[in-house]
Structure 1
């Protein structure tokens, strides 16, 4: 039995003893299984996040919108899960005053994974932005396809109204590679502009080759149409354009266009079919595939009358190209290819003119005719009229005019004896 003093002393010491808070690591160690489970979930979640991110990258090559959206949702879901685990750990494990080595390692691992998480979040935002841009592009393309389909339906309907159904043409326009077009005055007006540009474009190399060969351009212009008074020397180019035009449009008022055909019976539908067949083709390919087609014969008949033999001999030193064409061939020389572009534009204009019902009529004006603003258009825009109010006279007809229905497409003329404003 212990002495009373001794026991009282022990009781007093026990009553005076301070109670210290339990260290964090001891509290954690009370349920080590929960911590291990949490860490296991974190690593499992990170593994799933990496897998989802790889799926997101793979969905971009090749670009698959459905797979991208599916992978994007999966990445976001894994990010949310990881965020929930982070908040759960912080709520149940407040930061201790003293951190054990085990907690330090765990904190370092968490910090590393958080840094990786931020990297994934940046990449996901980048991919989400790319997805939005791609979705916008897809919507625009879908709208363009829808508009194109509506336009195509309308044009095909117009073609059928003109009698060019699949049955009449022997096969569908799409099978033949034709682009459906609407046969209307605007189409013909556009073809007239194309023909006029082609005349202008062919005159350029022709004049340049004449200069290189030493031709007297003043004398050459005067031989085409004598005694024309030009406001500027540079305006003599219109004489050569007029020469080309007169030769190319000769016979335009005939349905055959001066081409002898084995079957002279043609219909407006067949003429429009010829227009469509050549419209999208390179003219050299057209004559190469069928040298003796109506278009091929037309080219061979027009080249000799547009390009004089003396002119050609001075250009090339011989008449080999001319003889080759006259013999039924179509040379692949740059000069002849430039001529073929001109011939194609005039031929298409003729085929189109006779596709209308009633047919388009061509008209021209003679030199010396008074200028009429109704039927004529000056190729020089800044002309100054005489003070005596006399109407200027036509010096050259550069491009004929046309009657289409009740409308007039003015012929283009060069006015003589007028001044040009500077």
Structure 2
């Protein structure tokens, strides 16, 4: 073969060698750099996800809805970034023909991070579920607050109608103030009136249960207040109201109200604050929050004093309710709830009485005393009251009276042997 032909073949081989090696090395280098960049991004995002997850945990103790939402958004953002990296890797490497040991190691690390990612996704969903539960609880509490505000507005209207709430202009910003701090006899008088109504209301179910149990109401009334001449037979209900008052007002002049507890000495401002705080609350709600509070102990002691064990046995056939009360509980029975309304009204009256300076004092009148219009008021409104020697006598006191500084709130009495107008 001529030299010129040999040189031509060698040149061709050299040219063929120059076409392939260099582009293949560049491609391998680029793939390695892309893979290293991908792995670096994955580890960075995993670290960021861990940090966001820790932040989400910290926002739950104490519970902070704003911080939880911010951390939740951050976790979701990091999860989206990892998802995008996963799709980017799959698009760039659809189905590699073969895997080197280095590629296998990287693939194993990716699978490990993906498994960790799924774990975080499960935990995030769990926290999101907890957030939804907390949000539902918040909405429920907001609804309760709204209902309480509606009740407060209704109460304000009633108090304004009775002159117990300062009537500012309609555009006043003080609508949330139910009472001014100036205590007046008219305020106490209105609460006394409400208290007597609660006594009257509780006597109704008490008498009805006695009737249903077959009690002799005439004999029961005579045992409570003997030797009383009633103008009408239905007036004997006042004997039962008297029985309730005698026991409920026992210890009223004491700051402790006959409740044995420590550290009961408080200022008159504290007494008034308690009056304001409890006046609009349901007594069962108060006791459910703190069944062993001073008010809870007061309710238990007065219930056991007002309702005799024989009554309970005849009413309910057992002493289960009494035993439950004695053990420190507050049953949710209709009868006990009716009693709690009575107990709350007496308790509030006591709190208000000790809010005055000097404190309000209670007074009573004896059976057989001569009727005095200054200190007494007949519980029956249509009685005929004579003058001079014809003045009627007190059969019994239904509800005690009160002294507020120089003012007197008359006690309610039932007059014996008087006539009633039609």
Which TM bucket (shorter chain)?
0.5 to 0.7
Q: Report how many aligned residue pairs link the two structures.
A: 256
Q: 1:245 and 2:245 equivalent?
A: yes
Q: 1:183 and 2:177 equivalent?
A: no
Q: 1:149 and 2:172 equivalent?
A: yes
Deviation, 1:148, is 5.8
CA contact (8 A) 1:371 1:392 kept: yes
Deviation, 1:154, is 7.6
Q: What SS does structure 2 have at the residue aligned with 1:183? A: coil
Distance 1:390 1:314, change over 3 A: same
> Partner of 2:33 in structure 1?
none
> Partner of 1:312 in structure 2?
312
CA-based RMSD of the aligned residues comes to: 1.9
Q: 1:402 and 2:405 equivalent?
A: no
Deviation, 1:268, is 0.7
Q: What SS does structure 2 have at the residue aligned with 1:260? A: coil
Q: What SS does structure 1 have at the residue aligned with 2:228? A: coil
Q: How does 1:107-256 map to 2 (within 5 A)?
A: 147=170, 149=172, 151-152=174-175, 158-159=180-181, 182-256=182-256
Deviation, 1:385, is 3.7
Q: What SS does structure 1 have at the residue aligned with 2:397? A: strand
Deviation, 1:191, is 0.7
Q: 1:358 and 2:358 equivalent?
A: yes
CA contact (8 A) 1:188 1:352 kept: yes
Q: Deviations over 1:258-311 (max 9, x none)?
A: 011211321111111211221111001001110011110000000011111101
* Structure whose CA Rg is larger: 1
Q: C-alpha separation between the residues in 2 aligned to 1:386 and 1:269?
A: 45
Q: 1:331 and 2:346 equivalent?
A: no
Distance 1:152 1:357, change over 3 A: farther
Q: What SS does structure 2 have at the residue aligned with 1:186? A: helix
Q: Deviations over 1:282-341 (max 9, x none)?
A: 001001110011110000000011111101110000000000001100000000000000
> Partner of 1:287 in structure 2?
287
Q: Deviations over 1:242-262 (max 9, x none)?
A: 000000000001011001121
CA contact (8 A) 1:230 1:236 kept: yes
CA contact (8 A) 1:397 1:414 kept: yes
CA contact (8 A) 1:386 1:418 kept: no
Q: 1:267 and 2:290 equivalent?
A: no
Deviation, 1:149, is 2.5
TM-score, normalised by the number of residues in structure 1: 0.58
Q: C-alpha separation between the residues in 2 aligned to 1:304 and 1:155?
A: 34
Q: How does 1:297-308 map to 2 (within 5 A)?
A: 297-308=297-308
Q: C-alpha separation between the residues in 2 aligned to 1:148 and 1:345?
A: 33
Distance 1:339 1:155, change over 3 A: closer
Unaligned runs of 5+ in 1: 1-143, 160-181
Distance 1:297 1:391, change over 3 A: same
CA contact (8 A) 1:383 1:419 kept: yes
Deviation, 1:401, is 0.5
Q: C-alpha separation between the residues in 1 aligned to 2:250 and 2:238?
A: 18
CA contact (8 A) 1:203 1:241 kept: yes
